[in-house]
Protein backbone atom coordinates (compact mmCIF):
# COMPACT_ATOMS: atom_id res chain seq x y z
CA UNK A 1 0.00 0.00 0.00
CA UNK A 2 1.02 3.63 -0.55
CA UNK A 3 2.44 5.48 2.41
CA UNK A 4 1.79 9.17 1.70
CA UNK A 5 4.00 11.79 3.31
CA UNK A 6 2.74 13.33 6.51
CA UNK A 7 2.57 16.81 4.94
CA UNK A 8 -0.37 15.70 2.82
CA UNK A 9 -2.31 14.99 6.01
CA UNK A 10 -1.64 18.55 7.12
CA UNK A 11 -3.31 20.15 4.08
CA UNK A 12 -6.64 21.83 4.80
CA UNK A 13 -9.65 19.85 3.60
CA UNK A 14 -10.96 21.19 0.34
CA UNK A 15 -14.11 22.68 1.76
CA UNK A 16 -15.28 24.05 -1.55
CA UNK A 17 -14.99 20.77 -3.45
CA UNK A 18 -18.04 19.60 -1.47
CA UNK A 19 -19.87 22.70 -2.68
CA UNK A 20 -18.91 22.04 -6.29
CA UNK A 21 -20.12 18.45 -5.98
CA UNK A 22 -23.50 19.48 -4.56
CA UNK A 23 -23.94 22.08 -7.31
CA UNK A 24 -23.04 19.55 -10.03
CA UNK A 25 -25.68 17.17 -8.65
CA UNK A 26 -28.33 19.88 -9.05
CA UNK A 27 -27.15 20.66 -12.60
CA UNK A 28 -27.21 16.94 -13.48
CA UNK A 29 -30.83 16.82 -12.30
CA UNK A 30 -31.57 19.45 -14.95
CA UNK A 31 -31.97 22.47 -12.65
CA UNK A 32 -31.07 25.97 -13.81
CA UNK A 33 -28.35 26.68 -11.23
CA UNK A 34 -27.06 30.25 -10.68
CA UNK A 35 -23.47 29.85 -9.53
CA UNK A 36 -22.34 32.73 -7.33
CA UNK A 37 -20.04 30.49 -5.33
CA UNK A 38 -16.79 30.56 -7.26
CA UNK A 39 -14.21 33.26 -7.83
CA UNK A 40 -13.70 32.49 -11.51
CA UNK A 41 -14.03 35.54 -13.82
CA UNK A 42 -16.77 34.85 -16.36
CA UNK A 43 -15.62 37.17 -19.16
CA UNK A 44 -13.05 36.48 -21.92
CA UNK A 45 -9.51 37.84 -22.11
CA UNK A 46 -9.36 41.04 -24.22
CA UNK A 47 -8.71 40.16 -27.92
CA UNK A 48 -5.46 42.15 -28.28
CA UNK A 49 -3.89 39.95 -25.59
CA UNK A 50 -5.08 36.73 -27.24
CA UNK A 51 -3.70 37.97 -30.56
CA UNK A 52 -0.30 38.61 -28.99
CA UNK A 53 -0.18 34.97 -27.85
CA UNK A 54 -1.22 33.71 -31.31
CA UNK A 55 1.60 35.63 -32.97
CA UNK A 56 4.18 34.69 -30.36
CA UNK A 57 3.25 31.01 -30.66
CA UNK A 58 4.63 31.09 -34.24
CA UNK A 59 8.03 32.30 -33.06
CA UNK A 60 10.47 29.40 -32.63
CA UNK A 61 12.40 31.42 -30.06
CA UNK A 62 9.58 30.68 -27.61
CA UNK A 63 9.52 26.97 -28.41
CA UNK A 64 12.76 26.49 -26.50
CA UNK A 65 13.27 26.65 -22.72
CA UNK A 66 12.69 30.18 -21.50
CA UNK A 67 15.21 31.79 -19.14
CA UNK A 68 14.71 30.22 -15.69
CA UNK A 69 13.39 33.33 -14.03
CA UNK A 70 11.44 34.49 -17.08
CA UNK A 71 12.00 37.09 -19.78
CA UNK A 72 13.32 40.53 -18.90
CA UNK A 73 10.70 42.26 -21.08
CA UNK A 74 7.89 40.93 -18.87
CA UNK A 75 9.61 42.04 -15.67
CA UNK A 76 10.11 45.48 -17.21
CA UNK A 77 6.46 45.61 -18.25
CA UNK A 78 5.16 44.92 -14.74
CA UNK A 79 7.64 47.39 -13.21
CA UNK A 80 6.42 50.03 -15.67
CA UNK A 81 2.79 49.33 -14.79
CA UNK A 82 3.51 49.72 -11.06
CA UNK A 83 5.27 52.99 -11.78
CA UNK A 84 2.33 54.28 -13.80
CA UNK A 85 -0.46 53.03 -11.56
CA UNK A 86 1.07 53.44 -8.11
CA UNK A 87 4.20 55.57 -8.51
CA UNK A 88 6.23 52.61 -7.20
CA UNK A 89 9.81 52.07 -8.45
CA UNK A 90 10.80 48.44 -8.93
CA UNK A 91 14.09 47.15 -10.30
CA UNK A 92 12.95 44.57 -12.90
CA UNK A 93 16.01 42.39 -12.37
CA UNK A 94 16.06 42.15 -8.58
CA UNK A 95 12.61 43.17 -7.35
CA UNK A 96 10.34 41.19 -9.71
CA UNK A 97 9.75 37.43 -9.86
CA UNK A 98 7.41 35.87 -12.42
CA UNK A 99 5.04 33.24 -11.00
CA UNK A 100 2.56 30.65 -12.27
CA UNK A 101 -0.34 32.75 -11.03
CA UNK A 102 -0.28 34.52 -7.69
CA UNK A 103 -1.30 31.29 -5.95
CA UNK A 104 2.06 29.54 -6.34
CA UNK A 105 3.85 32.49 -4.75
CA UNK A 106 1.59 32.39 -1.69
CA UNK A 107 2.69 28.80 -1.07
CA UNK A 108 6.33 29.41 -2.06
CA UNK A 109 6.88 32.31 0.31
CA UNK A 110 5.96 29.99 3.19
CA UNK A 111 8.54 27.49 1.86
CA UNK A 112 11.12 30.29 1.73
CA UNK A 113 10.63 31.57 5.27
CA UNK A 114 9.00 29.03 7.56
CA UNK A 115 10.64 26.15 9.39
CA UNK A 116 8.55 23.49 11.10
CA UNK A 117 7.04 25.01 14.22
CA UNK A 118 7.41 28.64 13.07
CA UNK A 119 4.40 30.92 13.31
CA UNK A 120 2.56 32.68 10.49
CA UNK A 121 -0.19 35.28 11.03
CA UNK A 122 -3.12 34.53 8.76
CA UNK A 123 -6.37 36.47 8.29
CA UNK A 124 -9.59 34.79 9.44
CA UNK A 125 -11.72 34.75 7.33
CA UNK A 126 -9.19 34.44 4.53
CA UNK A 127 -8.23 32.85 1.25
CA UNK A 128 -7.56 29.18 2.05
CA UNK A 129 -4.32 28.96 0.04
CA UNK A 130 -2.47 30.78 2.83
CA UNK A 131 -3.24 27.79 5.06
CA UNK A 132 -1.88 25.34 2.47
CA UNK A 133 1.48 27.08 2.28
CA UNK A 134 1.86 27.19 6.03
CA UNK A 135 0.73 23.56 6.38
CA UNK A 136 3.17 22.31 3.72
CA UNK A 137 5.98 24.10 5.55
CA UNK A 138 4.98 22.32 8.77
CA UNK A 139 4.52 25.71 10.43
CA UNK A 140 1.73 26.93 12.72
CA UNK A 141 -0.98 29.46 11.95
CA UNK A 142 -2.06 32.16 14.31
CA UNK A 143 -5.32 33.62 13.08
CA UNK A 144 -5.96 37.34 12.89
CA UNK A 145 -9.73 37.83 13.22
CA UNK A 146 -11.26 40.22 10.67
CA UNK A 147 -14.32 41.76 12.32
CA UNK A 148 -16.97 43.89 10.70
CA UNK A 149 -16.68 46.57 13.42
CA UNK A 150 -13.00 47.02 12.43
CA UNK A 151 -13.83 47.28 8.74
CA UNK A 152 -12.56 43.69 8.35
CA UNK A 153 -8.99 44.83 9.11
CA UNK A 154 -6.92 42.91 11.68
CA UNK A 155 -6.48 44.55 15.07
CA UNK A 156 -2.74 44.07 15.68
CA UNK A 157 -2.96 45.22 19.29
CA UNK A 158 -5.37 42.37 20.11
CA UNK A 159 -3.20 39.50 18.78
CA UNK A 160 -1.64 37.09 21.31
CA UNK A 161 1.74 38.61 22.24
CA UNK A 162 3.50 35.25 22.21
CA UNK A 163 2.38 34.49 18.65
CA UNK A 164 3.40 37.97 17.49
CA UNK A 165 6.87 37.58 18.98
CA UNK A 166 7.31 34.16 17.30
CA UNK A 167 5.78 35.10 13.93
CA UNK A 168 8.06 35.21 10.89
CA UNK A 169 5.49 35.81 8.17
CA UNK A 170 2.04 37.39 7.82
CA UNK A 171 -0.55 37.66 5.07
CA UNK A 172 -2.71 40.65 4.30
CA UNK A 173 -5.16 40.83 1.40
CA UNK A 174 -6.96 44.03 0.32
CA UNK A 175 -9.25 44.34 -1.57
CA UNK A 176 -10.20 41.34 0.50
CA UNK A 177 -11.44 37.91 -0.39
CA UNK A 178 -13.96 37.04 1.03
CA UNK A 179 -15.13 40.19 2.90
CA UNK A 180 -14.70 42.64 -0.05
CA UNK A 181 -13.14 45.18 2.35
CA UNK A 182 -10.64 47.72 1.02
CA UNK A 183 -7.75 49.03 3.15
CA UNK A 184 -6.85 52.69 3.57
CA UNK A 185 -3.43 54.37 3.83
CA UNK A 186 -3.34 54.31 7.61
CA UNK A 187 -3.80 50.51 7.70
CA UNK A 188 -0.88 50.04 5.30
CA UNK A 189 1.34 52.33 7.38
CA UNK A 190 0.30 50.59 10.58
CA UNK A 191 1.13 47.21 9.02
CA UNK A 192 4.62 48.34 8.01
CA UNK A 193 5.26 49.67 11.50
CA UNK A 194 3.97 46.48 13.15
CA UNK A 195 6.01 44.23 10.85
CA UNK A 196 9.21 46.26 11.26
CA UNK A 197 8.84 46.32 15.03
CA UNK A 198 8.39 42.56 15.34
CA UNK A 199 10.61 41.44 12.46
CA UNK A 200 7.74 39.87 10.50
CA UNK A 201 7.74 39.58 6.70
CA UNK A 202 4.58 40.95 5.09
CA UNK A 203 3.04 39.13 2.17
CA UNK A 204 0.47 41.47 0.59
CA UNK A 205 -1.94 39.61 -1.67
CA UNK A 206 -3.12 42.20 -4.20
CA UNK A 207 -5.10 39.85 -6.45
CA UNK A 208 -8.06 42.28 -6.61
CA UNK A 209 -5.88 45.39 -6.80
CA UNK A 210 -7.56 46.68 -9.95
CA UNK A 211 -11.11 46.34 -8.70
CA UNK A 212 -12.10 49.43 -6.73
CA UNK A 213 -15.51 51.06 -7.11
CA UNK A 214 -16.88 54.60 -7.19
CA UNK A 215 -13.68 55.96 -8.72
CA UNK A 216 -11.45 54.77 -5.85
CA UNK A 217 -8.36 52.84 -6.93
CA UNK A 218 -7.25 50.43 -4.18
CA UNK A 219 -3.84 51.21 -2.69
CA UNK A 220 -0.82 49.01 -3.25
CA UNK A 221 1.10 48.05 -0.11
CA UNK A 222 4.31 48.98 -1.96
CA UNK A 223 3.21 52.62 -2.22
CA UNK A 224 4.10 53.20 1.42
CA UNK A 225 7.56 54.08 2.75
CA UNK A 226 9.34 51.10 4.23
CA UNK A 227 7.14 48.50 2.48
CA UNK A 228 9.99 47.03 0.45
CA UNK A 229 12.09 46.63 3.58
CA UNK A 230 9.47 44.46 5.25
CA UNK A 231 7.83 42.53 2.47
CA UNK A 232 6.49 41.79 -0.96
CA UNK A 233 3.27 42.10 -2.90
CA UNK A 234 1.68 39.34 -4.96
CA UNK A 235 0.14 40.72 -8.12
CA UNK A 236 -1.69 38.70 -10.76
CA UNK A 237 -3.21 39.15 -14.21
CA UNK A 238 -6.03 36.68 -13.43
CA UNK A 239 -8.67 39.18 -12.36
CA UNK A 240 -7.37 42.45 -13.84
CA UNK A 241 -7.29 41.18 -17.42
CA UNK A 242 -9.64 38.18 -17.19
CA UNK A 243 -6.64 35.88 -17.55
CA UNK A 244 -7.27 33.37 -14.75
CA UNK A 245 -6.59 30.43 -17.07
CA UNK A 246 -3.26 31.83 -18.28
CA UNK A 247 -1.59 31.53 -14.87
CA UNK A 248 0.50 34.69 -14.74
CA UNK A 249 1.44 36.32 -11.45
CA UNK A 250 4.30 38.24 -9.86
CA UNK A 251 6.13 38.64 -6.59
CA UNK A 252 7.23 42.27 -6.26
CA UNK A 253 9.29 44.17 -3.74
CA UNK A 254 11.91 43.01 -1.26
CA UNK A 255 14.89 41.78 -3.35
CA UNK A 256 15.94 39.17 -0.79
CA UNK A 257 12.51 37.52 -0.90
CA UNK A 258 12.34 37.82 -4.69
CA UNK A 259 15.69 36.02 -4.83
CA UNK A 260 14.43 33.24 -2.53
CA UNK A 261 11.22 32.81 -4.54
CA UNK A 262 13.24 32.48 -7.76
CA UNK A 263 15.51 29.98 -6.03
CA UNK A 264 12.57 27.76 -5.03
CA UNK A 265 10.98 28.11 -8.47
CA UNK A 266 14.17 26.97 -10.22
CA UNK A 267 13.57 23.56 -8.70
CA UNK A 268 9.95 23.28 -9.78
CA UNK A 269 9.54 25.03 -13.10
CA UNK A 270 11.39 26.62 -15.92
CA UNK A 271 9.22 29.73 -16.12
CA UNK A 272 6.04 30.18 -18.17
CA UNK A 273 5.70 29.48 -21.89
CA UNK A 274 7.40 32.39 -23.69
CA UNK A 275 4.30 33.10 -25.78
CA UNK A 276 2.30 33.65 -22.60
CA UNK A 277 5.00 35.99 -21.32
CA UNK A 278 4.71 38.01 -24.55
CA UNK A 279 0.93 38.23 -24.17
CA UNK A 280 1.24 39.13 -20.47
CA UNK A 281 3.60 41.99 -21.38
CA UNK A 282 1.04 43.11 -23.96
CA UNK A 283 -1.66 43.13 -21.27
CA UNK A 284 0.49 45.31 -19.00
CA UNK A 285 1.81 47.64 -21.71
CA UNK A 286 -1.15 47.84 -24.08
CA UNK A 287 -4.29 49.97 -23.77
CA UNK A 288 -5.82 49.83 -20.28
CA UNK A 289 -9.42 50.59 -21.35
CA UNK A 290 -10.21 46.92 -20.80
CA UNK A 291 -9.41 47.34 -17.10
CA UNK A 292 -11.67 50.37 -16.75
CA UNK A 293 -14.41 48.51 -18.56
CA UNK A 294 -14.03 45.51 -16.27
CA UNK A 295 -14.34 47.67 -13.17
CA UNK A 296 -17.47 49.34 -14.53
CA UNK A 297 -19.02 45.95 -15.35
CA UNK A 298 -18.48 44.74 -11.76
CA UNK A 299 -19.74 48.03 -10.38
CA UNK A 300 -22.89 47.75 -12.50
CA UNK A 301 -23.43 44.21 -11.20
CA UNK A 302 -22.82 45.29 -7.61
CA UNK A 303 -25.35 48.10 -7.95
CA UNK A 304 -27.96 45.88 -9.62
CA UNK A 305 -27.55 43.22 -6.93
CA UNK A 306 -27.75 45.70 -4.07
CA UNK A 307 -30.91 47.35 -5.41
CA UNK A 308 -32.46 43.87 -5.58
CA UNK A 309 -31.18 42.82 -2.13
CA UNK A 310 -32.50 46.01 -0.61
CA UNK A 311 -35.89 45.34 -2.17
CA UNK A 312 -36.09 41.84 -0.64
CA UNK A 313 -34.84 43.11 2.74
CA UNK A 314 -31.34 41.56 2.83
CA UNK A 315 -29.34 44.36 4.44
CA UNK A 316 -25.58 44.41 3.91
CA UNK A 317 -22.69 46.81 3.41
CA UNK A 318 -22.01 47.63 -0.25
CA UNK A 319 -18.50 46.49 -1.19
CA UNK A 320 -15.90 49.11 -2.16
CA UNK A 321 -13.84 46.65 -4.20
CA UNK A 322 -13.13 43.06 -5.30
CA UNK A 323 -15.83 41.12 -7.09
CA UNK A 324 -17.40 39.64 -3.98
CA UNK A 325 -20.20 40.59 -1.66
CA UNK A 326 -20.18 39.43 1.97
CA UNK A 327 -23.69 39.13 3.30
CA UNK A 328 -24.81 38.43 6.87
CA UNK A 329 -26.75 35.22 7.36
CA UNK A 330 -30.37 35.70 8.56
CA UNK A 331 -31.42 34.52 12.03
CA UNK A 332 -31.81 30.80 12.52
CA UNK A 333 -29.17 29.80 9.96
CA UNK A 334 -25.49 28.94 9.92
CA UNK A 335 -23.53 29.88 6.82
CA UNK A 336 -23.64 26.26 5.72
CA UNK A 337 -27.33 25.65 6.40
CA UNK A 338 -28.19 28.82 4.48
CA UNK A 339 -25.96 27.79 1.56
CA UNK A 340 -27.62 24.35 1.54
CA UNK A 341 -31.11 25.83 1.52
CA UNK A 342 -30.25 28.34 -1.22
CA UNK A 343 -28.91 25.52 -3.36
CA UNK A 344 -31.69 23.04 -2.73
CA UNK A 345 -34.65 25.38 -2.93
CA UNK A 346 -33.49 28.37 -5.00
CA UNK A 347 -30.79 26.57 -7.04
CA UNK A 348 -28.25 29.24 -6.18
CA UNK A 349 -24.66 28.43 -5.22
CA UNK A 350 -23.09 30.71 -2.59
CA UNK A 351 -19.90 30.17 -0.57
CA UNK A 352 -20.55 29.66 3.16
CA UNK A 353 -18.37 31.93 5.31
CA UNK A 354 -17.18 29.07 7.51
CA UNK A 355 -15.16 27.78 4.55
CA UNK A 356 -12.88 30.82 4.97
CA UNK A 357 -12.31 30.35 8.71
CA UNK A 358 -14.09 30.43 12.05
CA UNK A 359 -14.69 34.17 11.87
CA UNK A 360 -16.31 33.73 8.48
CA UNK A 361 -19.29 32.10 10.22
CA UNK A 362 -22.38 34.28 10.07
CA UNK A 363 -21.78 35.34 6.45
CA UNK A 364 -22.05 34.00 2.94
CA UNK A 365 -20.03 35.18 -0.04
CA UNK A 366 -21.76 35.91 -3.34
CA UNK A 367 -19.60 36.55 -6.40
CA UNK A 368 -20.46 39.22 -8.97
CA UNK A 369 -19.53 36.74 -11.66
CA UNK A 370 -22.63 36.63 -13.77
CA UNK A 371 -24.68 39.26 -15.60
CA UNK A 372 -26.95 41.80 -13.90
CA UNK A 373 -30.14 39.99 -14.94
CA UNK A 374 -28.99 36.71 -13.43
CA UNK A 375 -28.07 38.51 -10.20
CA UNK A 376 -31.54 40.09 -10.11
CA UNK A 377 -33.09 36.71 -10.78
CA UNK A 378 -31.07 35.25 -7.90
CA UNK A 379 -32.50 37.91 -5.58
CA UNK A 380 -36.03 37.09 -6.79
CA UNK A 381 -35.53 33.40 -6.12
CA UNK A 382 -34.20 34.21 -2.64
CA UNK A 383 -37.19 36.44 -2.00
CA UNK A 384 -39.52 33.45 -2.50
CA UNK A 385 -37.88 31.64 0.44
CA UNK A 386 -39.14 34.33 2.82
CA UNK A 387 -35.90 34.55 4.77
CA UNK A 388 -36.31 38.18 5.78
CA UNK A 389 -39.71 38.29 7.42
N1 LIG B 1 -5.42 35.57 -3.82
C2 LIG B 1 -6.74 35.64 -3.69
C3 LIG B 1 -7.30 36.36 -2.52
C4 LIG B 1 -7.57 35.04 -4.63
O5 LIG B 1 -8.89 35.08 -4.47
C6 LIG B 1 -7.00 34.34 -5.72
C7 LIG B 1 -7.82 33.64 -6.71
O8 LIG B 1 -8.96 33.38 -6.58
C9 LIG B 1 -5.61 34.30 -5.81
C10 LIG B 1 -4.85 34.92 -4.86
C11 LIG B 1 -4.89 33.51 -6.86
O12 LIG B 1 -4.93 34.03 -8.10
P13 LIG B 1 -4.07 33.46 -9.29
O14 LIG B 1 -3.33 32.24 -8.83
O15 LIG B 1 -5.04 33.13 -10.36
O16 LIG B 1 -3.14 34.54 -9.66
Least confident range of 78-87, 199-208, 267-276: 267-276
**What number is the average pLDDT over the span 84-93?**
98
**Ligand 1 centroid vs 353 CA: distance in angstroms?**
17
Prediction ipTM score: 0.99
Give the dihedral of Cα atoms 166, 128, 158, 196; nearest 10 deg: 50
Q: For ligand 1, atom 2, which residue shows the shortest CA distance? A: 207
Ligand 1 binding site (Cβ under 6 Å of any ligand atom): 39, 101-103, 127, 173, 177, 205, 207, 236, 238, 244, 249
Q: How confident is the model at residue 15 (pLDDT cuts 50, 70, 90)?
A: confident
Which residue from 129, 233, 242 has its CB within 8 A of the most atoms of ligand 1, so it is best to mutate? 129
Q: For ligand 1, atom 5, which residue shows the shortest CA distance? A: 177
Collapse the DSSP code of 60 into the 3-class scheme (helix H, G, I; strand E, B; otherwise coil) and give the result: helix
Distance of CA 380 to the CA centre of its chain: 29
Check residue 8 and give its pLDDT: 87
298-350 pLDDT tens trace: 999 999 999 999 999 999 999 999 999 999 999 999 999 999 999 999 999 99
Q: Enumerate domains of the chain plus CATH numbers.
A: 6-44+290-384 (3.90.1150.10), 62-285 (3.40.640.10)
Check residue 73 and give its pLDDT: 98
Contact call for residues 232 and 253 (beta carbons, < 8 A): yes
Sequence-separated (6 or more) residues with CB below 8 Å from residue 33 = 23, 26, 27, 343, 347, 348, 349
21-45 pLDDT tens trace: 888 999 999 999 999 998 889 999 9
95-122 pLDDT tens trace: 999 999 999 999 999 999 999 999 999 9
190-221 pLDDT tens trace: 999 999 999 999 999 999 999 999 999 999 99
216-268 pLDDT tens trace: 999 999 999 999 999 999 999 999 999 999 999 999 999 999 999 999 998 88
Sequence-separated (6 or more) residues with CB below 8 Å from residue 132 = 11, 12, 107
**Ligand 1 centroid vs 358 CA: distance in angstroms?**
21
Amino acid sequence: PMRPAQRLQELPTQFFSKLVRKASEQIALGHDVINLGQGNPDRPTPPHIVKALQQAAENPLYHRYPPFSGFGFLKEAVAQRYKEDYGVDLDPETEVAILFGGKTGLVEIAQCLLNPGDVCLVPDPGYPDYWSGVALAGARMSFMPLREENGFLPDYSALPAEDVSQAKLMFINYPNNPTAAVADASFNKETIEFAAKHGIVVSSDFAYGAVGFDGQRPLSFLQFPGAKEVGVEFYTLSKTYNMAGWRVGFCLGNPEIVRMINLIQDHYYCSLFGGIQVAAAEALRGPQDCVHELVSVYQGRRDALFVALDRIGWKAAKPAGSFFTWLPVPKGYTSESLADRLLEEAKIVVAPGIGFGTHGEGYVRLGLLTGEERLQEAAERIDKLGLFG
